[in-house]
Amino acid sequence: MIDPITLTVIAAGLQQVCDEMDLSFSRAAFSPVIAEANDRSDGIYAAEDGALIAQGAGGLPVFVGTMQDSTRQLIERIAAGLTPAPQPGDVYIVNDPYLGGTHLMDVRFARPFYRGGRLYCWLSNTGHWPDTGGAVPGGFSASATSVEQEGLRLPPVRLFKQGVLDTEIYAIICSNIRVADQRIGDVQAQAAALLVGEERLAALMDRYGDDTVTEAIAELRRRAARQMRAFIAEIPAGAHTATAWIDSDGVVNEPLAIRLSVTRQGDGLSFDFTGSSPPCAGPMNSVRATTLSSVYLAMRHIFPEVPISAGAFAPLNITGIEGTFLDARYPRPVSGCAAEVSQRIAEAVFAALVPALPHRVTAAPAGTSGNFALGGHDPATGRDYVMYQLSGGGYGGWAGGDGISNGCSTIGISKAPPVEIMEQQFPVLYHHYRLREGSGGAGEHRGGFGLDYMVELRRGAARASFVMDHGRFGPQGALGGKDGAVNEVSVWRDGVPMTPEHLSKAQDIPLGPGDRVEVRTPGGGGYGPPARRDPVARAHDLAMGYYSEAELRALFPARKPG
């Protein structure tokens, strides 16, 4: 049996392999969404079933389940003869959302790792490409009614064959996407990250031996399952229910419901989504892999001590998604799947469990990635471009204090690219980029504040598209706390402001020089009754200018003596 010290060292070594892949990917990538925003993830997966072995600490949490499912699907397709069997040096590319994916812009690479002439495991990563074709620049088609309108869909194919780029497949890809001449930088960066992983993993196994590393991987999986079951035991028996809402699907202007019942069953936990809305016409459908991964990442938020491993997911049972918009089948559009619907699923988990675990679970965070794509032609450079902007928002208040302001999204660690980088790369000017003061939900511990930015097109013609959410319903408060402020989008054309019909979803809005877009992201939900807020905290908010005296009196009633 492996000793605890060796087990810990190997666990850290596997994590380091993935962290170095993450770092290599970001440093070498061309697109700001990967190089600056770190919208990517790298991991190691079992050769038998694609089970997650390790994932980079800096990777997006939502990919923790999808990359596992995608690798499993690749293994099954190879076994069925639907995809060619691998050779050393091969790299598969796939972005099909129905094969363990998210949306089409999240492109996955997978490389087989061999030891002693046999396939030992898979190295895989996902990177958000700024464009994969489709009806609008950036792929976020707010009114798509089929996946074909969202972009090029790739089944698993070998983009690199024994280390050599297949120029014919690459030409097909480039012929179907915008700014194709810039993609080679991201492609080579993504492939190089897997090569770094291969070298680092081989060094780890050379040092400790194949048998020891194999034993450590199996033991880490068993321990993750035991640890998750131990935490599940903290949850009181009985059904814990909640409902979270999507503003609309971008086509039909009616809200979509995520209804959830969480029940402890023995040492496992059941998540039943029965009663959620049926598949929708627009792009707010979620594929099965993303729905499952959203539950996994929510539990990771609640129990961060549990290692990132397939074992941690074993006690979690997800049911009731069949026949709902949380189990999208071809050809349902899915561009809002990972970036938006996933966060509503996590919000439903938080809302269901915060009464049961009040010292572990927060009020709802902002829960939108703020997807804003701008595509056009820059006459100063003579080149086309696709700009992708994501943005943060407020975190929910919690038992220990106020929520973080302008934090990253629930599903990831991606940060907004620096304003200076965006202004260098694209013909835009940011008029302001600041906290949205007062947007956090009132509570004993208020929600964090969202973000407020305004960007102007400086030259040329462009088209703007948005797929965001929480424009109709603010992030939910908890245990008597109030909801956070809703998402707000305004488009200024010829000096006249316009709010999209679907509030924070729209596509193909033409912009000219001087036209502007302003986005005000949600604040987090408040935690606990506002009347219980500490007077010192009230005074600090006033001194910092977060609220006026009138706003404080209205939002936070004075605490009663005694």
- Kindly state whether residue 328 falls inside one of the protein's structural domains: no
- Predicted confidence (pLDDT) at residue 139 exceeds the cutoff of 80: yes
Q: What is the mean pLDDT of residues 436-443?
A: 96
Residue 251 lies in a domain: no
Looking at residue 180, its pLDDT comes to 93
Cα distance between residue 29 and residue 357, in whole Å? 41
| Domain termination residue (choose one: 202, 225, 248) | 225
Q: What is the CA radius of gyration of the chain?
A: 23
562: pLDDT strictly greater than 60: no
Give yes or no for residue 558 having a pLDDT over 80. no
- Segment 10-36 mean pLDDT: 96
Looking at the chain, the whole-number percentage of residues with pLDDT higher than 70 is 99
Mean pLDDT of 134-160: 96
Number of alpha helices (DSSP H) and beta strands (DSSP E) in the chain: 11, 20
d(CA 172, CA 500): 35
Q: For all residues of the chain together, what is the average pLDDT?
A: 95
Give the other-Cβ count within 10 Å of 433's Cβ: 16
Q: What is the pLDDT of residues 335-346, one digit of tens each?
A: 999 889 999 999
3-state secondary structure of 263: strand
pLDDT of 182 = 84
Q: What is the pLDDT of residue 316?
A: 97
- Asked if the structure places residue 260 within a domain, the reply is no
Residue after which a domain boundary falls, among 225, 248, 269: 225
Residue 201 has a pLDDT of 98
Whether the per-residue pLDDT at 226 is higher than 90: the answer is: yes
pLDDT tens-digit profile of 193-221?
999 999 999 999 999 999 999 999 999 99
Question: Is the pLDDT score of 142 beyond 80?
Answer: yes
Q: Is residue 155 part of a domain?
A: yes
Identify whether residues 220 and 369 lie together within a single domain: no
Mean pLDDT value across residues 336-363: 96
On the question of pLDDT at 412 being above 80, the answer is: no
Give the C-alpha separation, 494 to 317, whole Å. 53
Residue 555 structural domain? 362-562
Task: Check if the beta carbon of residue 482 is closer than 8 Å to that of residue 525.
Answer: yes
pTM: 0.96
Residue whose tokens read 């390790």: 54
| Per-residue confidence (pLDDT) for residue 313, from 0 to 100 | 95
Inside any domain, residue 336: no
**Whole-number pLDDT of residue 410:** 83
Kindly report, residue by residue over 67-106, the tens digit of the pLDDT: 999 999 999 999 999 999 999 999 999 999 999 999 999 9
The predicted structure's pLDDT at residue 533? 96
Q: Of 169, 199, 225, which residue constitutes the final position of a domain?
A: 225
Q: How many domains does the chain have?
A: 2
Is the CB of residue 527 less than 8 Å from the CB of residue 396?
Answer: yes
pLDDT computed for residue 557 by the predictor = 86
Separation between Cα atoms, residue 393 and residue 371, nearest integer Å: 12
Q: What is the b/e burial string over 271-298, where b = at least 16 CB atoms within 10 angstroms of the residue's CB?
A: bbbeebbebbbbbbbbbbbbbbbbbbbb
Is residue 186 domain-resident?
Answer: yes
Domain assignment present for residue 150? The answer is yes
Q: Is residue 350 part of a domain?
A: no
pLDDT score of 315: 97
Task: Provide the pLDDT for residue 60.
Answer: 86
What confidence score (pLDDT) does residue 559 get? Answer: 67
Q: Measuring CA to CA, how many Å separate 169 from each of 1, 93, 96?
A: 47, 10, 16
- Which pLDDT score is estimated for 44? 98
